[in-house]
Amino acid sequence: FPQAMKPPGAQGSQSTYTDLLSVIEEMGKEIRPTYAGSKSAMERLKRGIIHARALVRECLAETERNART
């Protein structure tokens, strides 16, 4: 999944959240072909899940940092 371009001056958490939504949207497109037996779609879905998990961790870390201040 390509990294979304972050607009200049965008807050880190907002653009990370936007990236996460984009990855989830792309993953949704791979569900049906995966059920149909497409191995390439399954691999893209796996990569999307890994990417989404990393973005969720970043969002959670940002939320925790903001909660402390």
In a domain, 7, yes or no: no
27: domain range?
A: 12-65
In a domain, 5, yes or no: no
In a domain, 43, yes or no: yes
Q: Note the pLDDT tens digit of each residue in 21-66.
A: 999 999 999 999 999 999 999 999 999 999 999 999 999 999 999 9
In a domain, 1, yes or no: no
pLDDT given for residue 69 in this prediction: 82
> Which of the pair, 32 or 10, is modelled with greater confidence?
32
Question: How many domains are contained in the chain?
Answer: 1
In a domain, 2, yes or no: no
In a domain, 56, yes or no: yes
User: What value does the CA radius of gyration of the chain take, rounded to a whole number of Å?
Assistant: 14
Maximal CA-CA distance, the chain:
48
In a domain, 47, yes or no: yes
Distance CA 26, CA 52 (A): 11
3 by DSSP, 3-state: which?
A: coil
- What token pair was written down for 66? 């903001």
3 half-sphere exposure, CB direction, 13 A CA radius: 7
